[in-house]
Amino acid sequence: MAELIQIGHDGHITTVLMNRPEKLNALTEDMFMAMTREIHRASGDPTVRAVVIAGSGKAFSAGADIKGYVDHGLDAFVHFQRLGRALNDAIAAAAVPVIAVVEGLALGGGFEIALACDFIVAGPNARFGLPEVKLGLLPGGGGTQRLPRIIGHQQAKSLLFTGDTLDAQSALEQGIVLAVAEDPHEQARRLAGRFLPWPRRAIAAIKQAVNEASPLEIGLALEYQSLLALYQSPEGQEGMRAFVEKRPPRFRDLGGSGEGGREP
């Protein structure tokens, strides 16, 4: 069995590569834990000056592996969400800049990992989205909180209410992406290189000051409680089961009968 993540080192830059290409790097509990350990390790290593997170194959990450919790009950869902949030919290709190290199899909939890990073560098084929509404759920890894802080409430609500995706150029224009490049890995290395001359402690202090400028923790707590309620609702259960069964969801709270939209 291949390793779920692969770690690379290039001078003072550590790369964390999600490695489930056959599943479009769909996120599992083991992936969350392995990535969190590596982020903590890199953050505590004085020789590391930047971290790059990327995906192997054709995608950054298509999001959570829903089969891992759809029929396993609330406790399993809570455990899965806590692990995902722990990873994103570790990324946001890391003492070094963290750069997401996005090629292909960055959806749901995959997009939330990228949003927790300090910068996103995208390839021309990148696509970003939070399709949880199509499952009768909401993003639970910070998407409802971090995205509005980047693009504003109206643009964020439009994406969250519809589950639509953005291409790389649109994400660049809205400020989600810092740069679009034919070789986003090289672009990320050049970006990281710009931080290397400056004191690690100063970079960490600047990052903390920017990230803690608003009560993010309050919003994240509300997001989490709302997600648990939706997971237990009939619509949430139907949306996830329909996704796994590869059929349109049959939601009952649409103000009438009928089927929901297409699968995310």
Annotated catalytic residues are: 112, 132
Q: How far is CA 33 from the centre of its chain?
A: 15
Structure-token pair, residue 252: 């009952």
* Nearest-5° Cα angle at 127, 126 to 128: 125
Helical segments of 165-256, H only: 168-173, 184-193, 200-211, 216-232, 234-244
Total residues belonging to the chain = 264
Strands (DSSP E) found in 56-178: 98-102, 105-107, 119-122, 127-129, 165-167
Q: CA separation (Å) from 162 to 16, 33, 102, 224? A: 31, 31, 22, 20
